[in-house]
Each structure stands twice: as structure tokens, then as C-alpha cells.
């Protein structure tokens, strides 16, 4: 290969491999303009390396030129600030240098898809610039085989963790890059040997190596697919501790307010659905607070920047909701519903913008840096998801953080509900039922969530007492300790006309199911129903263990839709639980029995037909073989699906079947003969009928032949004929049984 062709191959490989590496950001950015920001420095540096090589300048001049190009090219390609006369200003070049330090952190702190603009675009620009600055000179200015591969592999290693958790076609892209670099390095080594010692090897050897590597890689991908994502983590973005600490104080309006204080006006919220305000997913020993990283979220549960579009974790049909704040609103939290897919602040010029929003994908909540302006108005599109809690549904195994270690003080109170034979969700529903049936609700607001308030002063009493907010806090903590991931949510259900007043603000609990979605456990499921008036004497509720025993006893009798103890388990009093079969089990048993009976009956049909054939052949009387032999032909036609009327003459029946015309005439002649025929003639007639019967069955498809053996059609037809004609009488020749003719019908074949 000539030197010019080798140079061309090196340049193409560097540009092509960098394009493949940068394409890993396909799911990270909203469109492909990030490729422009990343490939512009790649192409420029390759051209600069070619010029430096052509002018015989050393690597020092090349790297000096690359360093000078960094800021102006970054301003144009990444920040898109070309300046007057396409000359970047000093300010824009300074921004490139300053923002490059925090660009990776900004990217991983933004929920994908990221808007391809501003500081985020500096990431593909820097990866392309830094990797190509080294790779282009090592590939075009030196003859080393492996040296230019190293910076490209480092670029691949830097790109993967900065993108989404599971990029599309990551493994095939990695195989493509690795295979290209391997073949390229081998090709460069061969070129170097050709210059030093003369050409060695062959093209066939290089092709064989490439095919072998590609085949092994593809086979490994098929046999050992990389489906396990448990060991992958997202890079942590910027910390939001100060922001969350300030926002935590406004998760609920603690200051006294009038119930008719107007907060919001919304449109587009489905009936019965609630706007989510804040999600409190960590109990710190004193209260539920929003976690900086949601427990069990796998890196998705941090508050990050967003663009106008957001990728939902669980895609589905979307709704569009429009929200307008009213003067009574004072909170940093942005009311949302479901999983956000798009956010639009187009009505707020000069006020709140999308760049001010921090969104948590795991909790579906957002807060605004600096707070919300009461004049703000916005619209959002979201996947509402399911809001029903399935009975006896499978829940996710909680992580250590999701069990809320600071809530261990509740364990002694929860012992009666922690029944080993119940599902985790059943334990939670049993606790919710206990609180609902035996708890009392305070008339005054109370937000104390301390261990003393939730433990001794609620579950520690014979009749729990607290505010609605405290019941939600207790229910969420109790569910977490019973083995179901739970969190507390504050929000509001819009009233008539979409208006939200202070009285509409409420709280509830969400439980995580096995598919990763969160389903609401509505406040009505666990809120105490007894509202004591002043001066009323409270009556103690039954102890928790007694209540649980009564509920399990009812469940064992099939009277409970939510709780179903397994057969053979024991109640708290030691008795064995033996629940009656459920309707589903009864239907399954009936279906199994019915199917078994039908299958056995079908398998017995061929046996019955064989016995019938033997009985017909051995029937007494000299006309028996003729009458019964022809009936075998008619039964075979019926079983194969082409019956002929029984009232027709045998000749007419044979003409309809298209077979057995001679046999029909022989049967008529034998039946109406003045005397008996020979035994040999009767046997020959029977064998001839057997041949016609087999020929009729051979004319149909294999499936029809099999069904002809199993169908009881001829058996049922014979039973119907006997019922219609009545009992046989002795008549004819030689004592053969013949049915009496009815209504002047012609004599037809008898039935055995």
C-alpha cells in the first residue's frame, strides 16, 4: 500500500471511530446536533495533523496549534457563539475554558434527553477534541501501531459513564469500535514491517483475523447477553442538599391558613387523580423528608436539570395539564402528575424558566430554584400511570435504605401484623385496616412525626389518635418496616372548576410494586373513621393481636378479599388455617375435570367402535353380514363428515357416496332373496365392505382420518335411530332382527 493510501486510511479511521464513540450519546441528547459539536474539532485536528506532517513540522507545533484552537472552536461548535464576523469574542472563549471544568457534572445532572445547547454540548466537544488531539498526531505523524488506539479507547471509556444508564446498541457499538481498532492496529503494524523488512503476511490472514474476532464477539453477545443492569450506576450529579433543605420546609403549608385560601387553578387533570406536590422518601428519626438521592432508585432518584422534554421511566399514554398559580401559593415545589415527559413555561417571560427546575425521575417531583413566582403559569405533559393498588400484588424487595432504619422503634408495635404466612402487601393492608377501624382523627392539624408521636402516642395506644398527616407518616413508616418500599406524598385533588384551595391539600402513601411502579394507598384506606367530640368518652379498641386473630379467622373462611392466608398456616392462637377454595380454584378444578372426561370419552370411542364392528360381524341370521356390513360403510361416511340419509335405498346411498354400487345391489339381493346364501359369500361381502370403508377414509386428509376414529357421530346416529324406530322384532329369514317399517319407509340396514 502506498504512503498516500495509508495516510487516507488512518484519517478515515480516526474520524469514523470518533463518530461511532460519540454516537453513544444518541439517547442522551434531544437531537443529533451534538455530533456536530463533537466532530468539528475531530475533522479540524485531523486536517491540522496532515498539514503539520506535510510541512515537516514536529509534534510541538501541532500541539501548540491545537491548544490555540481549543477556545475559539469550542465557542463556535459547542456554545454556538461565533461573534461578529465569525470571530469569537474574548468573553465566549473564556466561557469555554471556565465551563469546561463543570461540563461533565452539568451533563450527568440533567435528565435526558438533554437540550443540545450551552454547557452540556461542551462534553462531546471536549471528548472529540482531547481524544483526537492525541490520536490524530500519533496516527498521521508516527508509525507506531498501537499508540493511536489508546486515546480512542480512553474516549470510549469516558463516553459510556457520561451517557444514559443503558445506551441503545451499546454492546454492538463497542464490538464495532474494538474490531475496527484491532484491524487498524494490525494493518499499521504490517505497513511498518513492509517499510523496515519488506512485506510479510497476506490480506487473507488479516481478513481471517477480522472475521474470527467478529464471529466470536457476535456469538458471545448471543450466548451471554448483558441483561444484568444491577451493577451499573449513574454518575452522581451536583449536590442539592441546600436546595432540598430549603424546599423541605414547604412540603406542607405549616403556617395556619384559612381553608378557602386559593392556591392553584388547573385544567386537564383526570377525574379522581391528585396532583403530586412533594414526595418524602427518607425518615430521619424526626420526620419524613425528601432524600437527596431516593432510596433504591439506582441513580435516577436525584434532582437534576431538565430540558423541555423528559424521558419517562415507564412510557405510556400521556395527558396535558395546565397550571396557573394563585396569590395564596407559597412553595418551592412544582405540582405535577405521573411521570413528566414535557414542561413548558412559555407564558412566563422574565420569570420562572425551565432552567430553574430540578426534577427527580424516581419520585416524579420537581422544585424550582429560588421559589415559584405566584404569577407563574405552565403546562406539562406526563404519563399518568396506574393509580390502583392490586390485591395480593407482588411488591419489590426493599433495600436497606428503603426499610428506613431510623424507624426501627416501630418494630415492637408491628409484631402482631408481621405474620410469617402473609405476603408483605397483606401485612400492610392488615395494618391499614387496623388503623382505619380503630383509630381516631384529631380535629386540629398536627405535623409531629417523631418516634414518640408515631410510636407511643399512636400505635402504643389502645385506640390510635392523630391527624391525617400523622396517619400518612405512620402508615408509610409501618409499611417500610413490614417489608414493602413505601414513601409519603403530599398533594391535592382539584375541586370543581379545577380550583385547588388550602383545604384540598392532603397526603397519602405510595407503595412500590414488583415492576418498579409506585401505586397509591389512598388516605381512606388507613385514616381513622372515628372523630370524637368534646366530652365523649373513648372506648378502648381491641388489642392488635386480638384484631389480627379475628381478621385471619375471617380470611380463613373466605370472607376477605385482601388477605388470604395459605392453607396449613397457623393463626396467632395456634389453630391451623384451612381456607376454602377460591372461585378461581373451583373454576379451574371444574375445567380440569370436564376436560379429563371429554378426553377419556374421545379415547374410548375407537374401542366402542371396534366392539360394535365385532358384534355386527358375528350377528345371527343369514342376512346379518349384508345388512351390518353395508351399515359399516354408511357409518364410515358419517364419521368422515359426508353422511347420507338413512331413508334412501342402498343403491341411492352408494350413488351419493360414489362407491360401493355393486355392494349395495348384492346387499339388496341377499336381504330379499328367497333363501340364505353361502357363508363364503357373506364373508366375501363383509371383507368387500371393509375395503370400501377404508377407501372412504383414505379419500380425506390425515386430520379428518384421525377425527373419524375419535368422533362419536355414528354412535350417536345409531342411538337416535333406535329411539326413533323402537325395539326390534323377529322377522325376516333365519331369525334375523329387523326393525318394523314406520310410515311406509323402505327397508334399510339394521343397527346392532
Tally the C-alpha atoms within 13 A of residue 508's C-alpha that lie toward its C-beta.
22
Q: What is the pLDDT of residue 279?
A: 94
Q: What is the pLDDT of residue 295?
A: 92
Here the cell at position 94 is: 473564556
pLDDT above 90 for 252: no
Q: How confident is the model at residue 490 (pLDDT cuts 50, 70, 90)?
A: very high
Q: What is the pLDDT of residue 731?
A: 38
Tally the C-alpha atoms within 13 A of residue 254's C-alpha that lie toward its C-beta.
8
Q: How confident is the model at residue 224 (pLDDT cuts 50, 70, 90)?
A: very low
Q: What is the pLDDT of residue 171?
A: 83
Per residue in 145-164, pLDDT (tens digit) is 889 999 999 999 999 888 88
When mean pLDDT is compared across 188-197, 271-280, 410-419, 498-507, the lowest value belongs to 188-197
The secondary element (H helix, E strand) that includes residue 555 is helix 544-556
Q: Which long-range contacts (CB under 8 A, 24 or more apart) does 181-185 make?
A: 181/17, 181/149, 181/152, 181/153, 182/209, 182/210, 182/213, 183/209, 183/210, 184/9, 184/10, 184/13, 184/149, 185/145, 185/146, 185/149
pLDDT above 60 for 641: yes
Residue 365 near residue 333 (C-beta atoms within 8 A): yes
Better-scored residue on pLDDT, 336 or 109: 336
Dist. CA 642–CA 668, nearest whole Å: 22
Whether the ω angle into residue 588 lies within 30 degrees of 0, i.e. cis, is no
pLDDT above 70 for 737: no
Burial grade of 208 (CB within 10 A; 0-12, 13-18, 19 or more): exposed
Residue 705 near residue 668 (C-beta atoms within 8 A): no
Here the cell at position 472 is: 400518612
Better-scored residue on pLDDT, 731 or 610: 610
Here the cell at position 483 is: 417489608
Residues of the chain with pLDDT > 90, as a percent, come to 38
Q: What is the pLDDT of residue 426?
A: 93
CA 204 to centroid of chain Cα atoms: 47
Q: What is the pLDDT of residue 243?
A: 67
Q: Which long-range contacts (CB under 8 A, 24 or more apart) does 141-150 make?
A: 141/49, 141/52, 141/53, 141/59, 141/62, 143/188, 143/191, 143/192, 143/195, 144/188, 145/185, 145/186, 145/188, 145/189, 145/192, 146/185, 148/10, 148/14, 148/188, 149/181, 149/184, 149/185
DSSP character string of 435-475: HHHH-EE-SS-----SHIIIIIIIITSSS-EE-HHHHHHHH
Tally the C-alpha atoms within 13 A of residue 106's C-alpha that lie toward its C-beta.
19
Better-scored residue on pLDDT, 571 or 361: 361
Q: Which fold has domain 405-533+540-556?
A: C8orf32 fold (3.10.620)
Q: What is the pLDDT of residue 606?
A: 86
pTM for this model (two decimals): 0.66
Q: How confident is the model at residue 245 (pLDDT cuts 50, 70, 90)?
A: low
> Measured on CA atoms in the order 540, 541, 545, 550, is the torsion positive or negative?
positive
When mean pLDDT is compared across 214-228, 617-631, 648-662, the lowest value belongs to 214-228
pLDDT above 50 for 228: no
Highest mean pLDDT among 451-455, 597-601, 618-622, 628-632: 451-455
pLDDT above 50 for 242: yes
SS (H, E, C) 24-67: HHHHCECCCHHHHHHHHHHHHHHHHHHHHHHCCCCHHHHHHHHH
Strand positions, DSSP E, 430-584: 440-441, 465-466, 486-492, 499-501, 505-512, 518-521
Residue 447 near residue 470 (C-beta atoms within 8 A): yes
Domain-wise residue ranges, the chain: 3-222, 261-383, 405-533+540-556, 592-738
Amino acid at each position: 500500500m502506498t504512503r498516500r493510501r495509508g495516510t487516507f486510511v488512518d484519517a478515515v479511521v480516526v474520524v469514523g471511530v470518533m463518530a461511532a464513540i460519540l454516537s453513544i450519546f444518541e439517547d442522551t441528547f434531544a437531537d443529533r446536533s451534538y455530533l456536530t459539536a463533537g466532530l468539528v474539532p475531530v475533522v479540524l485536528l485531523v486536517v491540522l495533523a496532515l498539514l503539520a506532517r506535510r510541512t515537516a513540522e514536529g509534534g510541538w507545533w501541532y500541539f501548540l496549534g491545537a491548544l490555540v484552537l481549543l477556545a475559539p472552536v469550542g465557542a463556535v461548535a459547542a456554545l454556538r457563539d461565533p461573534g461578529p464576523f465569525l470571530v469569537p469574542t474574548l468573553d465566549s472563549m473564556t466561557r469555554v475554558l471556565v465551563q469546561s471544568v463543570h461540563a461533565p457534572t452539568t451533563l450527568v445532572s440533567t435528565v435526558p434527553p438533554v437540550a443540545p445547547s450551552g454547557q452540556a454540548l461542551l462534553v462531546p466537544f471536549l471528548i472529540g477534541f482531547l481524544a483526537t488531539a492525541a490520536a490524530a498526531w500519533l496516527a498521521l505523524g508516527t508509525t507506531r501501531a498501537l499508540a493511536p488506539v489508546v486515546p480512542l479507547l480512553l474516549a470510549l471509556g469516558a463516553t459510556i459513564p457520561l451517557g444514559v444508564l443503558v445506551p441503545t446498541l451499546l454492546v454492538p457499538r463497542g464490538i464495532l469500535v474494538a474490531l475496527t481498532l484491532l484491524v487498524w492496529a494490525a494493518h499499521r503494524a504490517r505497513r511498518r514491517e513492509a517499510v523496515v523488512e519488506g512485506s510479510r503476511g497476506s490480506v487473507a490472514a488479516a481478513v481471517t483475523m477480522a472475521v474470527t474476532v467478529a464471529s466470536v464477539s457476535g456469538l458471545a453477545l448471543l450466548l451471554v447477553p448483558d441483561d444484568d443492569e444491577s451493577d451499573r450506576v449513574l454518575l452522581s450529579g451536583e449536590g442539592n442538599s441546600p436546595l432540598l433543605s430549603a424546599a423541605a420546609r414547604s412540603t406542607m403549608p405549616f403556617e395556619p391558613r384559612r381553608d378557602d385560601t386559593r392556591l392553584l387553578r388547573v385544567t386537564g387533570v383526570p377525574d379522581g387523580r391528585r396532583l403530586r406536590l412533594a414526595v418524602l422518601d427518607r425518615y430521619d428519626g424526626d420526620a419524613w423528608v425528601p432524600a437527596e438521592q431516593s432510596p433504591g432508585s439506582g441513580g435516577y432518584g436525584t434532582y437534576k436539570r431538565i430540558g423541555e422534554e423528559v424521558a419517562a421511566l415507564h412510557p405510556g399514554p400521556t395527558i396535558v395539564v395546565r397550571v396557573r398559580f394563585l396569590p395564596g401559593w407559597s412553595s418551592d415545589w412544582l405540582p405535577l402528575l405521573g411521570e413528566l415527559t414535557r414542561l413548558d413555561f412559555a407564558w412566563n417571560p422574565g420569570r420562572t424558566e425551565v432552567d430553574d427546575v430540578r426534577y427527580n425521575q424516581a419520585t416524579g417531583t420537581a422544585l424550582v430554584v429560588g421559589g415559584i413566582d405566584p404569577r407563574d403559569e405552565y403546562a406539562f405533559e406526563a404519563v399518568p400511570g396506574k393509580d390502583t393498588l392490586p390485591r395480593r400484588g407482588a411488591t419489590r424487595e426493599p433495600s436497606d435504605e428503603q426499610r428506613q432504619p431510623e424507624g426501627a422503634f416501630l418494630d415492637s408495635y408491628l409484631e402482631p401484623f408481621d405474620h410469617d404466612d402473609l405476603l408483605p402487601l397483606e401485612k400492610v393492608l392488615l395494618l391499614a385496616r387496623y388503623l382505619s377501624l380503630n383509630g381516631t382523627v384529631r380535629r386540629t392539624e398536627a405535623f409531629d412525626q417523631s418516634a414518640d408521636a408515631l410510636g407511643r402516642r399512636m400505635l402504643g395506644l389502645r385506640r390510635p389518635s392523630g391527624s391525617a398527616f400523622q396517619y400518612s407518616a405512620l402508615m408509610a413508616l409501618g409499611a417500610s418496616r413490614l417489608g414493602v418500599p413505601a414513601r409519603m406524598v403530599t398533594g391535592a385533588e382539584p375541586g370543581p372548576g379545577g380550583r385547588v384551595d388550602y383545604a384540598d391539600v392532603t397526603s397519602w402513601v405510595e407503595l412500590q410494586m414488583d415492576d418498579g411502579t409506585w401505586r397509591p394507598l389512598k388516605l381512606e384506606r388507613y385514616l381513622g373513621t372515628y372523630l370524637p367530640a368534646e366530652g365523649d368518652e373513648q372506648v378502648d379498641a381491641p388489642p392488635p393481636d386480638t384484631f389480627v386473630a379475628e381478621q385471619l379467622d375471617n380470611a380463613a373462611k373466605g370472607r376477605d378479599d385482601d388477605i388470604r392466608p395459605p392453607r396449613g398456616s397457623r393463626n396467632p392462637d395456634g389453630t391451623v388455617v384451612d381456607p376454602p377454595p377460591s372461585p378461581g380454584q373451583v373454576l379451574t378444578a371444574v375445567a380440569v375435570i370436564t376436560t379429563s372426561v371429554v378426553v377419556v370419552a374421545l379415547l374410548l370411542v375407537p374401542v366402542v367402535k371396534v366392539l360394535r364392528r365385532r358384534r355386527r360381524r358375528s350377528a345371527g341370521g343369514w342376512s346379518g353380514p349384508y345388512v351390518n356390513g353395508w351399515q359399516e360403510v354408511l357409518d364410515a361416511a358419517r364419521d368422515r363428515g359426508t353422511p347420507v340419509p338413512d331413508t334412501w335405498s342402498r343403491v341411492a346411498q352408494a350413488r351419493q357416496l360414489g362407491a360401493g354400487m355393486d355392494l349395495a345391489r348384492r346387499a339388496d339381493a341377499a336381504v330379499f332373496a328367497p333363501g340364505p346364501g353361502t357363508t363364503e359369500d357373506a364373508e366375501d361381502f363383509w371383507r368387500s365392505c371393509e375395503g370400501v370403508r377404508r377407501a372412504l377414509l383414505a379419500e380425506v386428509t390425515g386430520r379428518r382420518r384421525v377425527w373419524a376414529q375419535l368422533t362419536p357421530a355414528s354412535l350417536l346416529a345409531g342411538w337416535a335411530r333406535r329411539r326413533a324406530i323402537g325395539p326390534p322384532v323377529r322377522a325376516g329369514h333365519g331369525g334375523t332382527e329387523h326393525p318394523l317399517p314406520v310410515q311406509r319407509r323402505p327397508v334399510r340396514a339394521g343397527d346392532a
